Amino acid sequence: MKKFYTSYEGFAIRTIGYNTVRTASFLYFYDWFNKDPRRYARPEMLFYSAVPAALITGILTNPFELVFTRMQAEPMYHKNYRRGYNTFWEGLLKANEERALFRGAVSNGLRIAMLLGTMTGLHDWMKENSYYFLGPSEINRVLATILATTVGTLASMPFDTLRTRMYLMKPLPNGVLPYSNALDCFSKITRFETTTKWKGNFAAFYAGATTQWLRLLVIFLVS
């Protein structure tokens, strides 16, 4: 069972930092964009507030995401190629020495922006409108969560792939990193990992999409 809880302390720190920064940023921008004294949460206001809040959250919490992702992936590597992060704090220090704490930060910010920008307003819209057909039932929340999770997964997974690739990359034999930035990463995936088939053009960007969908669904259903 220990393997399923790899870097649990990193998960806790990442979650606390993410939720704190995201909530504070979202409320700040929501107050700034929405001048309606009735505080009616219109979908466009939720979108305008969620996107900048998500970008700030993704960039500020990127060091936590990077170390957590690396510690989760560590068991997949041969022992000679592991980074050797014994604790989360040690991982932060070593990543800082590597000057990699903010590697992939833009992709991480865009990932969260796509999640919050699509899911926040869509969830509320679906829940309120399904009420007219199904009445006061718990199924309204479930249907809204399924719809929002599906759209959020489709919108965010390409950026999730980019940031994960940049988090885990190591120098090539010539000492050069495989990707110089997010745009370079996107370009190389498109050029070398896609096919002429329609499905093949997107498969590389949606690897693990089912797991991501289930993860988001469980989080939003229980939170």
Residue 175 vs residues 42, 125, 208: alpha-carbon distances, Å = 51, 50, 29
Q: pLDDT tens for residues 41-64?
A: 667 777 888 889 999 999 999 999
Mean of per-residue pLDDT scores for the chain: 85
Task: Output the pLDDT for position 194.
Answer: 72
Q: Can you tell me the distance from the alpha carbon of 223 to that of 207, in angstroms, rounded to the nearest whole number?
A: 26
Q: How many CB atoms lie within 10 A of CB 8?
A: 13
Q: pLDDT tens for residues 125-173?
A: 888 888 777 777 788 888 889 999 999 999 999 999 999 999 999 888 8
Residue 150 vs residues 118, 147, 172: alpha-carbon distances, Å = 10, 5, 36
Q: Can you tell me the distance from the alpha carbon of 126 to that of 146, in angstroms, rounded to the nearest whole number?
A: 10
Q: What is the DSSP letter of 74?
A: G
Q: Are 153 and 122 in contact (CB under 8 A)?
A: no
Overall pTM surpassing 0.95 (yes/no): no
What average pLDDT does the segment 181-201 reach?
A: 78
Could you tell me which of 75, 154, 70, 80 has the C-alpha nearest to residue 104?
70
What average pLDDT does the segment 19-44 reach?
A: 78
Amino acid at 14: R
**Domain range list for the chain:** 2-222
Q: pLDDT tens for residues 2-27?
A: 666 666 777 888 888 888 998 899 88
Task: Output the pLDDT for position 136.
Answer: 79
Give domain 2-222's CATH superfamily.
Answer: Mitochondrial carrier domain (1.50.40.10)
Structure tokens at 165: 């690739």
